[in-house]
Amino acid sequence: MSVSDPIADLLTRMRNASLIKRKDVSLPSSKVKVEIAKILKDEGFIKNYKVADDGKQGILSITLKYTDANQGVITGLRRVSKPGCRIYCTKDSLPKVLDGLGVAIISTSRGLATGRKCAEWGVGGEVVCTVW
């Protein structure tokens, strides 16, 4: 089965797994998905991720993070820029998610980065998704 928007597929799998309190999510790997997982780990939204070689493109396994009360750390994921409608931001109009509690992942000329990192670098780009 081919997926027309692999990033939306990643976000949907993570959202669905979080809703049913699943510990792990596995999906076909890609450089962009691994970068998104890396940012989510650095920002404290997921516990860990790893890429396993399966002879084809690899399998990305993400371990979701839960609080002591078994609540998911990720309360929301939203795909902003879609294949049919790209959304861009300049360095002056970087999106702020829940007044800084969430994170916007932006595709820049330097690769994927958070909104905070883009402000630091002074660059804009395509708003891939928001996580809170």
Share of the chain above pLDDT 90, in %: 91
How many separate domains does the chain show?
2
- pLDDT at position 16: 96
- pLDDT at position 48: 97
- pLDDT at position 83: 93
The contacts of residue 60 (CB under 8 Å, 6+ apart) are 26, 27, 28, 29, 30, 33, 34, 37, 49, 50, 51
Are 26 and 54 found together in one domain?
yes
Say if residues 53 and 3 touch (Cβ distance below 8 Å): no
Has residue 78 got a pLDDT over 90?
yes
**Residues spanned by the domain of 105:** 77-131
pLDDT category, 3, cuts 50, 70, 90? confident
pTM surpassing 0.75? Answer: yes
pLDDT digits (tens, 9 = 90+) for 90-124: 999 999 999 889 999 999 999 999 999 999 999 99
CATH code for the domain of 44: 3.30.1370.30
Are 94 and 120 found together in one domain?
yes
> Which of 19, 38, 64 is where one domain is finished?
64
- 112 located within any domain: yes
